[in-house]
């Protein structure tokens, strides 16, 4: 199992698609999945921020991944899952079962949520993976490596699908400044 993790705009999807393309060039059978809730670019494609795209199967739950693999015309050599953090908790077991069955599993997802907390099942996937690629974005304020996805627009729900209109990549210092500022703003509003 391979996990590609990092903040928004770090190239996670681009790296996933690169690995899937390389597997295809090597004449391997691939299947690519994404969560239905990520409908930013329609439901049938995985699309990176640099506009690379590949056809994918949009699914509601992790159990659907195994069903799709079992029903495939040809057993896949490689299974890719984009935005894996949006799947239910059982995705960890699903990925492990597929890997135990000899399928190369590559998942990409956010390691931290917009509040800087580990995002859903990502810590478990990182712990189970044989290979972990941790990517950084470029901080929109300092130009340094960015590890945080800061929500600049929207609500306070844990999961909010969005792109550059809703999020920016920040390095530690500006992220901490924003978190402290927002915390003080929230405290004075109460």
What is the 8-class DSSP label of residue 129?
-
What is the 8-class DSSP label of residue 65?
H
What is the 8-class DSSP label of residue 8?
T
Give the sign of the dihedral formed by CA 1, CA 125, CA 149, CA 54.
positive
Catalytic residue among 83, 157, 165, 168: 83
Which residue is it, tokens 């340094």? Answer: 144
State the number of CA atoms in the 13 A half-sphere of 128 facing the CB: 19
Nearest to 82 by CA among 36, 33, 124: 33
CB 111 within 8 A of CB 119: yes
Report the distance separating Cα 65 and Cα 17, nearest Å: 18
What is the 8-class DSSP label of residue 75?
-
Residues 6 or more apart whose Cβ sits within 8 Å of residue 154 = 160, 162, 166
Q: Active-site residue 14, yes or no?
A: no
Catalytic residues: 83
């Amino acid at each position: 199992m391979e996990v590609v993790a990092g903040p928004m705009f770090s190239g996670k999807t681009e790296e996933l698609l690169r690995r899937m393309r390389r597997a295809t060039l090597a004449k391997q059978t691939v299947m690519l999945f994404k969560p239905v809730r990520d409908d930013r670019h329609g439901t049938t494609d995985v699309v990176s921020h640099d506009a690379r795209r590949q056809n994918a199967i949009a699914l509601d739950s992790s159990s659907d991944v195994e069903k799709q693999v079992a029903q495939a015309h040809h057993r896949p050599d490689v299974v890719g899952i984009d935005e894996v953090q949006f799947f239910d908790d059982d995705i960890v077991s699903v990925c492990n079962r597929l890997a135990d069955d000899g399928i190369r599993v590559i998942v990409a997802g956010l390691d931290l949520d917009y509040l800087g907390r580990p995002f859903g099942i990502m810590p478990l996937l990182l712990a189970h993976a044989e290979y972990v690629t941790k990517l950084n974005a470029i901080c929109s304020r300092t130009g340094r490596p960015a590890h945080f996805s800061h929500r600049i627009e929207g609500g306070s729900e844990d999961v909010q699908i969005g792109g550059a209109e809703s999020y920016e990549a920040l390095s530690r210092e500006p992220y901490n400044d924003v978190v402290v500022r927002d915390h003080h703003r929230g405290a004075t509003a109460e």
